[in-house]
Structure 1
Amino acid sequence: MMSRDTSTGKVFEQSVLPALEHAKYKYRKQVNIGNKPNQRKHIIDLIVYDANRKILVSKKWQQCGGTAEEKIPFEVIMLANACQNFNYEKAYLVLGGTDEDKGLDTKGWTLRQWYLRGGLKDWIKNHDRVEIIGSDAFIAKINRREL
């Protein structure tokens, strides 16, 4: 069995950090923000600080067939829980990578566009502080200081 290349997620993370620094946001990486409902640690990719606001950022990357997209609903629930119970103002779930396209022969997300259009909103309660966003749109928000 061939192992999957997980370094692409690191490349994605490294593209966000310079944008945050350029926009003068402060941040911390890989932070324990409290416990999940199952009492296990919730380690978040980034906490971004802007004045008195604390913003959670979770990043998911997919460019081959895999399970990243199947984890999105659970991640939204965990982010909503963290915002509600641990005083975070907002959370972003940033989806990077490629969409599956048979015409272009690319592998990747099959549900990303549905998630980005708000497909989960009817299915998950208390999601209002969690924004699912594409990686390019997220970097544009950072550049405009609109997090």
Structure 2
Amino acid sequence: MSESWFHWALMSAVFAALTAIFAKLGLQGIDSDFATLIRTVVILLVLGAIVLALGKWRNPFALEPRTLLFLVLSGLATGASWLCYFRALKLGEASKVAPVDKLSLVLVAIFAVIFLGERPDARSWLGIALVALGVLILGFKR
């Protein structure tokens, strides 16, 4: 497979889209928090098998404390995001929930400027603004 970030990002988008569809279908007759737990266990088992099979396992407690802290915080944020996302999917239509969820793209750009010192160019800001506009158009009723 290609080592291009863009290739991997496109694949991420495809799998994220499938996540919304599969989750919406799987949420019939089940609590959204319990559904999130099942999803998380599946991810843990599959990713654990991949890491072990590829010989990538390391002792997580041997990591630098700062690295471990930010990975734990990332995991907590991911868990909170998944709980909210599945609750939104349970209550709303996937075609409306997913675009609003993608407001995270805009927030990532803003947070990257504030916390990481990144400086998107004018073309990037235009794309980010268009995503924000799309979320507003799709996510909010008149």
**TM-score greater than 0.5 by the shorter chain:** no
The structure that has the greater radius of gyration is 2
Q: If the length of structure 1 is used for normalisation, what is the TM-score? A: 0.29
Q: If the length of structure 2 is used for normalisation, what is the TM-score? A: 0.30
The structure in which a higher percent of residues are helix is: 2
The structure in which a higher percent of residues are strand is: 1
